[in-house]
């Protein structure tokens, strides 16, 4: 989430990180949260914003402005720790003019909406999809060890297996099993190319 935008300021990011680390060191909340921006400065023992809110009976969600308050009133609820440690941090890397838009430029407002959408989309990809990658790979490893390296053969999952290069797609209906016009012309091209190579 901390990728720099086209005008991201690396030195500013470095300074922020150094300040965070000076304040938080290697501290960790009892819940396991250890991202500096999610921890309350000077809390002792270390406590995160989510745990403090819970302890005080308050909501653990913030209303995040994806495009920044100055650019668009749309908000979306985000868990407070992620709001502080991920989405707010992403906005620090925007050009300040775009985030604050002091003259209410309609162009900057639109740029902010795009930046906000991209940041939020990346956050959701991390939250909803990233873990699935490891899950799928580990499950494949587990099934390999239990059932062998072609565990899907002869199961309803077989049709999802990627086709080997050059293999025609499975087709239960033989009348539709002719190569498409595109495929035929591709083949013609490859035959022609190899003929040209032979001639040369």
Judged by beta carbon, residue 48 or residue 89, the one nearer Zn ion is 48
Per-residue interface string for the shown chain with Zn ion, residues 31-60, x marking contact by CB under 5 A:
x-x--------------x--x---------
**Site residue total, Zn ion (CB under 5 A):** 5
Helices (H) and strands (E) in the chain, counts: 8, 2
Q: How far is the CB of 111 from Zn ion (least distance, A)?
A: 35
Cα distances from 119 to residues 24, 80, 90, 166, 183, in angstroms, run 25, 16, 7, 40, 40
85 binds Zn ion (CB under 5 A): no
Judged by beta carbon, residue 67 or residue 85, the one nearer Zn ion is 85
Rounded to whole angstroms, the Cα distance separating 195 from 200 reads 9
Q: How far is the CB of 59 from Zn ion (least distance, A)?
A: 15
| Vertex 153 angle, CA 148 and 159, to 5° | 140
Rounded to whole angstroms, the Cα distance separating 106 from 10 reads 27
Q: How far is the CB of 22 from Zn ion (least distance, A)?
A: 21
Q: Other C-beta atoms within 10 Å of 121: how many?
A: 11
Judged by beta carbon, residue 51 or residue 99, the one nearer Zn ion is 51
Positions touching Zn ion (CB under 5 A) are 29, 31, 33, 48, 51
């Amino acid at each position: 989430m901390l990728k720099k935008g086209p005008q991201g300021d690396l030195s500013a990011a470095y300074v922020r990180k150094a300040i965070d680390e000076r304040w938080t060191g290697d501290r960790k909340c009892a819940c396991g949260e250890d991202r500096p921006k999610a921890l309350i400065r000077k809390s002792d023992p270390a406590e995160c914003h989510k745990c403090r809110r819970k302890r005080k009976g308050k909501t653990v969600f913030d209303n995040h402005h994806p495009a920044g308050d100055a650019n668009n009133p749309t908000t979306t609820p985000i868990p407070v720790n992620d709001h502080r440690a991920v989405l707010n941090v992403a906005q620090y890397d925007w050009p300040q003019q775009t985030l604050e838009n002091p003259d209410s430029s309609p162009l900057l407002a639109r740029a902010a909406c795009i930046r906000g959408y991209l940041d939020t989309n990346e956050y959701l990809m991390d939250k909803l999809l990233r873990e699935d990658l490891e899950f799928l790979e580990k499950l494949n490893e587990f099934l390999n060890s239990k059932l062998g390296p072609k565990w899907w053969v002869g199961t309803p999952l077989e049709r999802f297996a990627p086709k080997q290069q050059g293999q025609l797609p499975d087709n239960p209906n033989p009348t539709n099993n002719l190569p498409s016009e595109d495929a035929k012309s591709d083949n013609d091209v490859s035959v022609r190319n190899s003929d040209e190579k032979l001639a040369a």
